[in-house]
Structure 1
Amino acid sequence: MRCAVVGDPIAHSLSPVLHRAGYAALGLDASYDAVQVPAGGLAGFVAGLGPEWRGLSVTAPLKREALDLADTVSARAELAGGANTLVRTEAGWAADNTDLPGAMAAIRERYDGPVGAATIVGAGATAASTGLALAELGACTVRLLARDRARAAETVAALERHPGLEVDVVPIEGGGIIGEVVVSTVPAAAQSEVLVAATAAAAVVFEVVYDPWPTPLAAAAAQRGQPLVTGLDLLVHQAVLQFAMYTGHDGPLDAMRSAGEQALAAR
């Protein structure tokens, strides 16, 4: 069985480390690689895969392409407007999105309190999946702090497909934080002192970026003693779900997380 993560850029991905650790822990005869596939190239890449290929983890900028080429699409992938998982089945390629349930599991692992409203810094594909996860956890309102309001339109449309969810978009410079949960999906360089200070009142901080670590936001949350959900938490939880889809075995969470932690520490 062969699997891989595809995207561009891809060299930084920890997915091979996680999945290979899972295979080793369970003694499975399988391989998992990282393959650079540029925007517009996913359909051609998939068409050339032999029968030994079982699954693909899909990252930027290919998540919409994965949705479009699939023979079947899960409800949550359709809701998110993108797929991070392709699995070969008897009916062809099936598209799913494990970022959404992965984010839910990552949050609940660190925080078991109420989620009535939330703020997401950034407005890309990751903002869409984490926003939908927050809605599934009970959020009625999600605020996007966007660097470019126009580029947030696709994410807003995805979030508004969730029944009853109210979405508003404000400039990132204002740092207008609402709700119990703050999620950051932007690079460390975009995390201003004003933004970092504004997150102090949140019950939990979710920093999606895991490299470099810690970001200013993560460092401040740790110093304050706020519950902190990390990008590695998200990556591991969504990878565990993918692992089960590819192999038919439950993903060994502890082994996969440990391998990710060691790989990050070595960078």
Structure 2
Amino acid sequence: MTRAPDTRLAVLGKPIAHSKSPLLHAAAYDVLGLQWIYERDEIDESQLAAFVKSRDSAWRGLSLTMPLKQAIQPHLDRIDRIGELTGAVNTVLFEWGGDTVHRAGFNTDVPGIVRALGAAGVERVRHAHILGGGATAASAIVAASELGAESVLVSVRAPERAAGLVPLAASVGLTIDLATFDDPRDDDATGLVVSTLPGGVDAPVTFDADFRARVPLLDVAYEPWPTTLGQAWTDAGGVVLSGLAMLVHQALLQVRIFVAGDPFAPLPDEDAVLAAMLGAVGLAADGTPRGQ
């Protein structure tokens, strides 16, 4: 699909200045030969409705980060299956018919997690431990299911505030256990740790060196990096991915949506597009920093 050179896109959130999405999308559109404009706009929940409704036909879509992944839903005409499951939408596609627009919402975080872990060699998981209970934790639960997990442990400060994750886990066939950070229950069955805690926040839970050396970590934070948790994993010689790896793979699926309207439709020369996106943020094919 070819659109006019002034086709516009943006990533929205607050804060947003740290976002690497403009770098990733610019790299992709350069390979695809599309002179599209992708910007970042600092928008919070109170500004979201007015921003979305004021877009004109030059606009193709939006990427969304916190705190907007749930707030966007009332402004959409349809939501994909994963978005409905998780209650989180990170991609909006504007489908124009004359002056009329249809707004479709997608969650590319779940397949982004699965693809990033697969590139690092993590293709099957029996039990996953997730830190944090927000929108990204919901995506991590569904991703764990897609990796074949039977159960998940979710560590949070206040388990009652994460109660909404229980029916989500059940809906994808997972047994879930909610625990506080000071109640670790890891055992030999744990095959993956996913931290969904915000960047700059020290994880209020520790793991011994043998565990860190054995079990891969995906820390969805990437600014600042390394996080305390990520550094601890590196020090133990374990496999650790920053949120940049997830960000690249979910952004590739966003590009599919913006270009073809379909997250399952591969891009022309997609291998070159992915390589350019990884290179734009200094990652190797397996999601680790180049030269590591």
Q: TM-score, normalized by length of structure 2? A: 0.83
Mapped to 2, the partners of 1:204 and 1:130 lie a distance apart of 14
In the alignment, what sits opposite 2:176?
Answer: 167
- Cα RMSD (Å) of the superposition? 2.2
Question: Which of residues 152, 155, 161 is equivalent to 1:142?
Answer: 152
In the alignment, what sits opposite 1:240?
Answer: 252
In the alignment, what sits opposite 2:192?
Answer: 181
Question: Which of residues 10, 19, 35 is equivalent to 1:13?
Answer: 19
Asked if 2 retains the 8 angstrom alpha-carbon contact of 1:181 and 1:202, the reply is no
Question: Is 2:278 aligned against 1:257?
Answer: yes
Question: Which of residues 2, 9, 26 is equivalent to 2:8?
Answer: 2
Question: Which of residues 225, 233, 241 is equivalent to 1:221?
Answer: 233
Residue by residue, what CA displacement relative to the aligned partner does 1:119-146 show, whole Å, maximum 9, x if unpaired? 0011111111011101111111011010
Question: Which of residues 65, 74, 88 is equivalent to 1:68?
Answer: 74
> Which deviates further from its counterpart, 241-250 or 7-16?
241-250
**Counterpart of 2:241 in 1: which secondary structure?**
strand
Asked if 1 retains the 8 angstrom alpha-carbon contact of 2:152 and 2:176, the reply is yes
Distance 1:198 1:41, change over 3 A: farther
Distance 1:224 1:85, change over 3 A: same
**Counterpart of 1:253 in 2: which secondary structure?**
helix
Residue by residue, what CA displacement relative to the aligned partner does 1:48-67 show, whole Å, maximum 9, x if unpaired? 00100001001111111222
> Which deviates further from its counterpart, 245-254 or 15-24?
245-254
Question: Is 2:202 aligned against 1:190?
Answer: yes
In the alignment, what sits opposite 1:124?
Answer: 134
Displacement of 1:219: 1.7
Residue by residue, what CA displacement relative to the aligned partner does 1:180-229 show, whole Å, maximum 9, x if unpaired? 00111114533247346584264311111111111122122223332222
Query: What letter corresponds to residue 91 of structure 2 in structure 1?
Result: T
Asked if 1 retains the 8 angstrom alpha-carbon contact of 2:202 and 2:228, the reply is no
**Counterpart of 2:136 in 1: which secondary structure?**
helix
**Counterpart of 1:54 in 2: which secondary structure?**
strand
Mapped to 2, the partners of 1:30 and 1:85 lie a distance apart of 17
In the alignment, what sits opposite 2:61?
Answer: 55
**Counterpart of 2:177 in 1: which secondary structure?**
strand
Unaligned runs of 5+ in 2: 1-6, 261-266, 284-288
Query: What letter corresponds to residue 40 of structure 1 in structure 2?
Result: S
Unaligned runs of 5+ in 1: none
Mapped to 2, the partners of 1:113 and 1:13 lie a distance apart of 28
Displacement of 1:41: 2.5
> Which deviates further from its counterpart, 178-187 or 79-88?
178-187
Q: Which of the pair is proportionally richer in helix? A: 1
**Counterpart of 1:180 in 2: which secondary structure?**
strand
In the alignment, what sits opposite 2:121?
Answer: 111
Residue by residue, what CA displacement relative to the aligned partner does 1:238-267 show, whole Å, maximum 9, x if unpaired? 0000011112345511111111238x99xx
**Counterpart of 1:87 in 2: which secondary structure?**
strand
Distance 1:261 1:70, change over 3 A: same
Identity of aligned residues (%): 37
Question: Is 2:53 aligned against 1:32?
Answer: no
Mapped to 1, the partners of 2:72 and 2:34 lie a distance apart of 26
Asked if 1 retains the 8 angstrom alpha-carbon contact of 2:82 and 2:107, the reply is yes
Question: Is 2:236 aligned against 1:230?
Answer: no
How many corresponding residue pairs? Answer: 263
Asked if 2 retains the 8 angstrom alpha-carbon contact of 1:80 and 1:159, the reply is no
Mapped to 1, the partners of 2:140 and 2:205 lie a distance apart of 23
Asked if 1 retains the 8 angstrom alpha-carbon contact of 2:209 and 2:236, the reply is no
Mapped to 2, the partners of 1:177 and 1:20 lie a distance apart of 41
In the alignment, what sits opposite 2:263?
Answer: none
**Counterpart of 2:116 in 1: which secondary structure?**
helix
